[in-house]
Amino acid sequence: MASNTIVSINHPDGALLENPSSAAGMTSRWRETLIELSKFFAALAGGFQPAAPGGITVDVSRVRTSGAPATGTATCVGILAADTVTINGVTFTAVAAGATAYQFNLGGSDAATAANLAAQVNANADALIAGIFTASVVANVVTFTAYLKGKAGNAITLASSNGVRAAVSGTRLTGGIGGSGTIATFSA
């Protein structure tokens, strides 16, 4: 593989497809393979488990390596219905009962409310949440942790509608250092 190769795909017919240096250099085989892979990943992002395209084996994985993931917190103290916590651009709204995907139920205590928020975040299939970060809870504090170690997690935003009742640790997760991740590999 050339040192400037960004994408390399082992095609089922044995050909190694490397990224072209320009759109004009894109072969029809390369273009067709990318279209099939695009369809595959669109279906995967939509929550479907599609078959790999055209006999290509697709291994989608996330690799945690050395370093530390970014983290941030939301501390629940007397949250009221309609208060919100927004993580990575996805807003979760407190409701008295009957929470749906982007809502969380108020609990009988701050710790119960925090647990409900963490549970709703972790159960959400939104592409900006699932596989990007997780939520854990200790007492009334929800900790959001980037899935991958490294600086990329420091870009995950964090906000609340009320900085007293849902006090967040900052406008972004922090502390992500080192690390790297492999999102997908392709082979025949």
pLDDT digits (tens, 9 = 90+) for 141-176: 999 999 878 888 888 999 999 999 999 999 999 998
pLDDT value at residue 106 = 98
| Proportion of the chain above pLDDT 90, given as a percent | 46
DSSP 8-state secondary structure symbol assigned to residue 87? E
> Same domain, yes or no, for 92 and 149?
yes
Q: 187 has which bridge partners?
A: 57
In a domain, 129, yes or no: yes
Residue 90 lies in a domain: yes
Nearest alpha carbon to residue 15 among 50, 54, 41, 42:
54
Q: With beta carbons less than 8 A apart as the criterion, state whether 151 and 77 touch.
A: no
**187 found inside a domain:** no
Considering the entire predicted model, what is its pTM? 0.64
- The answer to the question of residue 111 being in a domain is yes
Token pair listed for 187: 């082979």
Whether residues 21 and 108 fall in one domain:
no
12: domain range?
Answer: 8-60
